[in-house]
Structure 1
Amino acid sequence: MQAVRNRDRVVVVGAGVAGLTAAIGLAARGFEVLVLESRARPGGKVRTRDTPAGPVDAGPTVFTMKWVFDRILAAAGTTPEAELAIARAATLARHAWPDGTRLDLFADVERSAAAIAAFSDRRNAEGYRRFCAEAAGIYRTLEASYIAASRPGPFELAARVGAARLPAMLALKPFSTLWSALGTHFTDPRLRQLFGRYATYCGSSPFAAPATLMLVAHVEQAGVWLVEGGMAALAAALARVAERLGVVIRCRTPVAAVTVRGGRAAGVRLADGSELAAGAVVFNGDVSALAAGRLGDLATGLKPVAPPARSLSAVTFAFAGRARGFTPAHHTVLFSDDYRAEFEAIFRRRRVPDRPTVYLCAPDRDDAGRPQTRHAKAPGAAAGERLFCLINAPADGDRRPDDASETERWLDRTLTQAARCGLTLEPAAPPAATTPGDFERLYPATGGALYGRAAHGWMASFQRPGAASRLPGLYLAGGSVHPGPGVPMAALSGWLAAERLAADRASTPRFRPAAISGGTSTA
């Protein structure tokens, strides 16, 4: 098939959250945008699995940093509230330990401090207040200079923060581990374990990740939102908004290669052999796939993330069933007996822990655990309620074959650990499992790593590539690039890719994309 030449078209490879936000940002600036997705629907890592009680989110389940979507959707003349049914959670999560203790954290700092005082003691409650204040300070320092800005190096970050704010720069604690920093706030090992879990939000170990990740506490305090229909509804809304702006999304259209002409990205070749020409390409996928040549021999300057440097993978189980014991909340964490042993098993011995921490999402319950009876499959329905469990695992899905019996053992460990914490989970039918090998097939060349490079050591965040690759015309978006993993950060990466592409193209005489103004644009 003869290639169609269109210099002013941008092809986005991948309809994950980053690809969709890049498409929105580009279309709002006047570009013609075509999004190509290999799977049946948009979403990327935002995906669902079917259960007898209905589909359940089997990827990200937590919606935070709503301001990111406020900003992105404003460029399209809309808001998250106009596109989604969302409610801010008063209870952030319920936490349980094998010793029978439980603790809820709340969106209100003082309410959480009172709960911690009753759970532990006043000293740890005061430590929590100091911890929240420090987390807020770190976030304020990094929001404009790092999170929402183009990728800086360490010296550029220092320059952005400014010499006058040197104390704020030092307060980031890049050379301390999260675990050690938590020891200055909490004497109760259970609380250290609870807040150390924030390292796993970017696929890392609290014993190796920098203390800077304390900022996650502030992100949660600023708002955890429940989305009716789950995170899949968010992906669908982003796709709907993109299409209203004129973006064309073609699913079941795998891309075989990025084509190069004249030393720059010039379009893509599809799996059926046809070619689509474009003035630029945005790749929404893991950079290891590009570096490994999965889309051709491209001069990107990228290198695959070495297996020891990969972030966490996971074993997940989606099922319909019942929960007996204490009442789970929408988000519940069931902690392991020994946190250090858990991460030693994953990152050093490369095995799933014998007693893993279990994350449970119960989408048919509200933030406090009450049944959401407006849902057809609320708790008590014949098939049971929808449930989703996740345990952390090493990203070795490309180095060890799948083993059905091993998956059964992982399920048994998951259910057993939940029971140790006082929650008996009873699947009504065999759960739909996803293993590191499955994640490798879904996201090639990653080994199943879900967050790109692990944030181990102070330089790790600066090793993520920025929006522009070394190949002119090829731009990068997704959780493996700056500013990092997670739904809002991936969304920001797509937005930053659109900004960089537009800035690069604005100087060319043949096409000057319109600036965003009030959600409308003209070419």
Structure 2
Amino acid sequence: MTTSAPHVAIIGAGIGGLAAALRLSHWGCRVTVLERHAGPGGKMRTLPTDAGPVDAGPTVLTMKPVFEALFTDVGLHLDEHVTLQTEETLARHFWRDGTVLDLMSDPYQSVENIARAFDSNAAKEFSAFCAQTKILYDAFDNPMIRTSEPSLGDLALTVAKSPKLLRAMKPLSTLASSLSQSFSDPRLAQLFARYATYVGGLPAHSPSLLSLIWQAESQGVWHVKGGMHQLAQNIEKAARGFGAEFIYNAHVTRIETQDGRICAVQTDDARHMVDAVLFNGDPNALRSGLLGPAPETAVDASATNPRSLSANVMSFAAIPEGVPLAAHNVFFAQDPKTEYAPLAKGQQQSDPTLYICAQDRFGGSTPIGPERFEIILNSPPTDEKTPPSEKEKEQCQTLILQQLSHFGLSFSPRPTASTLTMTKDFAQLFPASHGSLYGRTPHGMMAAFKRPPARSKLKGLYLVGGGTHPGAGVPMATLSGQHAAAAILSDLIST
């Protein structure tokens, strides 16, 4: 051991690394967080606009109890550090035929809205879908999401105890095929098929089990007052209060071992002797040798490949015209049968679905003057290592704005191509990620078991973040921080 207090280096200050830093520092570990960027948050980033900083990463916060537990477990209170406000309208959905549907935090209101926008049969199918996804969520929350290392044995035991669970799982169906059976109207199937993209997958290749994402969202959507980045900043502040040290603009070049165990971390200008390392980056960076030869075999190849989807993200301030927006908005592709076909071939869609976060409309507000927006367009990962060209950015900008013009939505001033962060940009921001924002793809029934757990194959090296179990998304990455911190503490105590 390096000192009487074990020294843990955390590489990366994404939400998973921050959550682990808070827990480990509270438990008495000496924690040093090394982050190659200028501040905390990882993919939870902001960019400047004339209307103030705009979120350029995750915008939806679900599973509030995960964050309450993070603070409660270290003797703090979430509401004393971050203000979370619930959204009555979960999301507003638009189709080209003029149909508009608001899904609400009140389930009965959602049923009424569906009956009004579609028909009573659609409302009945939605109610049945909600009941089915609740069965899945309640069954798999503990043995899959909350556990540190899910096992097929535990899953089989869970299913064996409840025959209705097997029917709800539809293990031989993809999300797309399952939804086509659940909904007569293809527009509702299209709506919930999009949930596969929340974890970087395609509906026709992802397991039907991903429908339970709706249940997590239906239990509440919150926004962070001041923007999502406030969550990262305040977790960092709380960890500092327990003695954690944060070093930014620190490029880690090498993880060193001695006698088969982690012993040190090397940056461009310093060497840190450690008892354990927690890696909060894409696990593929380890396999790619970006941190030296020692951790190259710490993670199986199947745990990092094939890659998940990426995105092209437009972040800007402007005045919207032509469409009554909510805080969260989805504008659907014209043809749900073909919209994902290009992505499956590694190509950009020509008729995509677009998500828009109107950051200043949280809480039902209707701002006057320029507002902050984030628009997300799904895109395939990339093997290219060069930044996007001006032509590529202009083509992407044109695609996004033309697609929205079909719905009558425009912005003044018109956002420029410079407001885009594209797949190639993400590939450079997050090394060895290929631009993928969710780590390994969720395709296939066994995908959930292929994500790496907190413990790697190399003694003293642990993993955290959206590329590890239990998966992508802010709550899941936060839970991975809990799993990783517990594993580190347990192993250090036993050592």
Q: Name the residue aligned to 2:436.
A: 449
Q: Name the residue aligned to 2:54.
A: 56
Give me the whole-angstrom Cα distance separating, in 1, the residues matched to 2:172 and 2:363: 35
Match of 1:165 among 162, 167, 172: 162
Alpha-carbon contact 1:76-1:245 (below 8 Å) kept: no
Using the TM superposition, name which of 63-72 and 394-403 deviates more.
Answer: 394-403
Residue 298 of structure 1 deviates from its aligned partner by 2.3
Q: Name the residue aligned to 2:313.
A: 316
Alpha-carbon contact 2:303-2:451 (below 8 Å) kept: no
CA spacing shift, 1:162–1:335, aligned 2, 3 Å:
closer
Q: Name the residue aligned to 1:419.
A: 405
Give me the whole-angstrom Cα distance separating, in 2, the residues matched to 1:315 and 1:294: 25
Matched, 1:380 2:368: yes
Give me the whole-angstrom Cα distance separating, in 2, the residues matched to 1:163 and 1:182: 24
Match of 1:396 among 382, 402, 415: 382
Match of 2:492 among 488, 501, 505: 505
Give me the whole-angstrom Cα distance separating, in 2, the residues matched to 1:257 and 1:106: 48
Give me the whole-angstrom Cα distance separating, in 1, the residues matched to 2:246 and 2:299: 27
Give me the whole-angstrom Cα distance separating, in 2, the residues matched to 1:210 and 1:422: 35
Residue 158 of structure 1 deviates from its aligned partner by 2.3
Let me know the Cα RMSD of the aligned residues. Answer: 1.8
1:290-324 Cα distance to aligned partner (Å, 9 max, x none): 11111111244424569982111011111111111
Alpha-carbon contact 2:18-2:481 (below 8 Å) kept: yes
Q: Name the residue aligned to 2:271.
A: 275
Residue 326 of structure 1 deviates from its aligned partner by 1.8
**Secondary structure of the structure 1 residue equivalent to 2:265:** strand
Residue 269 of structure 1 deviates from its aligned partner by 0.4
Give me the whole-angstrom Cα distance separating, in 2, the residues matched to 1:391 and 1:211: 23
* Residues 233-272 of structure 1: pairs in structure 2 closer than 5 A: 233-272=230-269
CA spacing shift, 1:351–1:55, aligned 2, 3 Å:
same
Residue 485 of structure 1 deviates from its aligned partner by 0.3
Q: Name the residue aligned to 1:13.
A: 11
State the AA in 1 paired with 2:368: G
Alpha-carbon contact 2:94-2:332 (below 8 Å) kept: yes
* Residues 10-159 of structure 1: pairs in structure 2 closer than 5 A: 10-159=8-157
Give me the whole-angstrom Cα distance separating, in 1, the residues matched to 2:117 and 2:385: 43
Residue 231 of structure 1 deviates from its aligned partner by 0.7
Match of 1:470 among 457, 466, 472: 457
Residue 87 of structure 1 deviates from its aligned partner by 1.0
CA spacing shift, 1:308–1:25, aligned 2, 3 Å:
closer
Using the TM superposition, name which of 279-288 and 162-171 deviates more.
Answer: 162-171
Residue 167 of structure 1 deviates from its aligned partner by 3.9
Alpha-carbon contact 1:5-1:278 (below 8 Å) kept: no
Residue 455 of structure 1 deviates from its aligned partner by 0.8
**Secondary structure of the structure 2 residue equivalent to 1:219:** helix
CA spacing shift, 1:461–1:427, aligned 2, 3 Å:
farther
Q: Name the residue aligned to 1:205.
A: 202
State the AA in 1 paired with 2:477: A
Residue 408 of structure 1 deviates from its aligned partner by 0.7
Give me the whole-angstrom Cα distance separating, in 2, the residues matched to 1:427 and 1:417: 17
Residue 401 of structure 1 deviates from its aligned partner by 5.8
1:221-267 Cα distance to aligned partner (Å, 9 max, x none): 11100111111011111111111121111111121111111101112
Give me the whole-angstrom Cα distance separating, in 1, the residues matched to 2:102 and 2:264: 50
CA spacing shift, 1:410–1:307, aligned 2, 3 Å:
farther
Using the TM superposition, name which of 429-438 and 313-322 deviates more.
Answer: 429-438
Q: Name the residue aligned to 2:280.
A: 284
Identity over the aligned pairs, expressed in percent? 40
Matched, 1:330 2:327: yes
TM-score norm. by structure 2 comes to: 0.95
Give me the whole-angstrom Cα distance separating, in 2, the residues matched to 1:126 and 1:193: 17
Alpha-carbon contact 2:159-2:165 (below 8 Å) kept: no
Give me the whole-angstrom Cα distance separating, in 2, the residues matched to 1:240 and 1:301: 31
Give me the whole-angstrom Cα distance separating, in 1, the residues matched to 2:272 and 2:342: 46
Q: Name the residue aligned to 1:356.
A: 352
**Secondary structure of the structure 1 residue equivalent to 2:234:** helix
Matched, 1:220 2:208: no
**Secondary structure of the structure 1 residue equivalent to 2:410:** strand
Alpha-carbon contact 1:397-1:436 (below 8 Å) kept: no
Residue 415 of structure 1 deviates from its aligned partner by 0.9
Alpha-carbon contact 1:287-1:304 (below 8 Å) kept: no
State the AA in 1 paired with 2:221: V
Residue 424 of structure 1 deviates from its aligned partner by 1.8
**Secondary structure of the structure 2 residue equivalent to 1:356:** coil
Give me the whole-angstrom Cα distance separating, in 2, the residues matched to 1:77 and 1:229: 24
Alpha-carbon contact 1:173-1:211 (below 8 Å) kept: yes
Q: Name the residue aligned to 1:366.
A: 362
Structure 1 residue runs of 4 or more that deviate by more than 4 Å after TM superposition: 4-7, 303-308
Give me the whole-angstrom Cα distance separating, in 2, the residues matched to 1:102 and 1:331: 13
Residue 171 of structure 1 deviates from its aligned partner by 2.9
Give me the whole-angstrom Cα distance separating, in 1, the residues matched to 2:291 and 2:386: 24
Runs (5+) with no aligned partner, structure 2: none
Give me the whole-angstrom Cα distance separating, in 2, the residues matched to 1:61 and 1:19: 19
* Residues 424-443 of structure 1: pairs in structure 2 closer than 5 A: 424-427=410-413, 430=416, 431-443=418-430
